[in-house]
Every structure is written in C-alpha cells, then in structure tokens.
A and B are shown apart, each in its own frame.
Chain A
Amino acid sequence: MSDQPITGTSATFDRVADIIADTADIPRDKITPESHAIDDLGIDSLAFLDIAFAVDKAFGIKLPLERWTQEVNEGKVPAEEYFVLKNLCARIDGLVAEKAKA
C-alpha cells in the first residue's frame, strides 16, 4: 500500500483507469495519469463514448463531450486538455464539485 495520501484526483484517476481497463480492454498497468486516451491508449470515438457512459454513471455527472469536441475541432482548446487522463480526471473532479454545490 502506498504511503501517499489519496487526493481527490488520484482517487478519481484510479476509478477512471479501472473503467478504461474494463471498457476498452486495455491492461491496467499501461494506463497512467500522463496517458493520452486517443494517442497513447488507442481509444476510438466509439469506445470513448462507452467510457463516458461508465464515467457518467460512476460519478453521477454528464461529461460535456459535445462541447469539448467542438472546442477541440475549432482549435480553441488542445485535445490534451481533455484527453490526457490527469486533465480528464481534474475536469471530472470539477464537475463532481459543481454538482455537489448545486
């Protein structure tokens, strides 16, 4: 067991990594916070929707995938902001916090 305290994001990462491993059939040990879901893990758009569904259910949120996709396609936001897992997890934490406030 690690001596590191579990922060919100690392606990979130563990859940998200488990979801990706289960959903996309990717070995769990290949999934790191620095992994890019598309470029490094080879997750296609269909599989990413499967993952989004599992994340939505697990965290009780609604990942704004349409807005993210539009922002990336229009060049307003680099894809890494959403698809590198540590960034994705930070956004999940943000959505969970927003929901808790509402």
Chain B
Amino acid sequence: MRLEYFEMIDQVVHLDRAAGRIEALAVVPDASPVFEGHFPGHPLVPGVLLAETMAQASGYLVLAHLGFAQMPFLMAVDKARFRSFVGPGATLNVAASLEHDGSGYAVTKATIRHAGKLLADAELRFRTMPFPDGLDAPMRARARAIGLPMEDAGGVAP
C-alpha cells in the first residue's frame, strides 16, 4: 500500500469472474506520512482508508466484470464497520463480491481480514460510466501491475 498515493491494493491473488469475486493483498507500510497525524506516536490506518481499500478491490472486480468497458466511481458506503485497529506492517486480505450488476451502477460487499480475523466490512455502491478521457490507460496499467487478469479486458494491448 502506498497510502499517500491512494494505491491501496498490492496484488490480486484470485479473480473468479463467474462467481463475481476477487481476493487481494494489501500490506500496510511500516512508515507513511499518514501515520504522522493518525496518530502521533500511535500509528493506525484510518478507517476511511480501509473503506477506500475495500472500494478499490471492489472497483477492480467491477472493472473485470465489465471488461473495462466502463469505470466504476464510488457513490455509497453502507454498513461500514471497522472492527479492530490496523497498524504498520499488517498484511491485509481484502475480498469483494459482486452483489448486483445494475444498469449504470454496481453493488459489492467487501471485507478486510488479517490472519483470518475480520477487521472491516462494508456494502459499497458504484456508479459505472464511460471512462473520462485519459483514465482508461492508467487504470489498465495499474490493474496489470497488481496482477488483475486482463485477458477479457478488451481495448488496446499494452
């Protein structure tokens, strides 16, 4: 994770398109400017960044589901729970499942676990819309970098 760059997902470890499920790894860095303020001398990953982590895992799942035809933008975080503290160095197992594929929107449920223990969960909703100019290529590049299978992603080859 590079918290200050909002790069929350390090590696996609499993994608099941048919089941609508993704699993990913996110390793909390040992040091980050975020920890200077949250909190001084007591570093904790802010809950809002855990929500972002679940949103990004969900977003890659939706991108894969749509074959990169549209971009998901987070529009709602429901029933978010942050059940335990998350500190530097923790390896997080992030999972998301597609609950509903609507017209122009998608709904996921996501979890974050550490060593099998549930740390956070939420229901997330995304508006899906055509990629704004210039966003398609960097999203594909980032997805490729974290190991999202791209064989059905369409578009221009790298």
A residues near B (Cβ < 8 Å) are: 46, 49-50, 52-53, 56-57, 62-67, 69
Contact = CB atoms under 8 A, between A and B. Distances in A.
Interface residues of B, number: 11
Contact of A46 (B75, B100, B102): B75
Contacts of A62: 101-103
Contacts of B102: 49, 52-53, 56, 62-63, 65
A94 B107 CA distance: 24
Given A49-B75, A50-B76, A53-B125, A65 B104 contact: yes
A64 B100 contact: no
Nearest to A56: B102
The 6 A-B residue pairs with the shortest CB-CB distance, nearest first, are A65-B103, A66-B104, A65-B104, A66-B103, A49-B105, A64-B103
Interface in B101-120: 101-105, 107
Given A46-B75, A49-B75, A50-B76, A67 B103 contact: yes
A63 B103 CA distance: 7
A56 B105 CA distance: 11
A53 B104 contact: no
Contacts of A53: 100, 102, 105, 107, 125
Contacts of A46: 75, 127
Interface string B118-138: 000000010100000000000
Given A49-B105, A65-B104, 13 more contacts: A46-B75, A46-B127, A49-B102, A49-B127, A50-B76, A52-B102, A53-B102, A53-B107, A53-B125, A56-B102, A57-B100, A65-B105, A66-B104
A49 B125 contact: yes
Given A46-B75, A49-B125, A50-B76, A56 B100 contact: yes
A63 to B, nearest CB: 6
Nearest to A63: B103
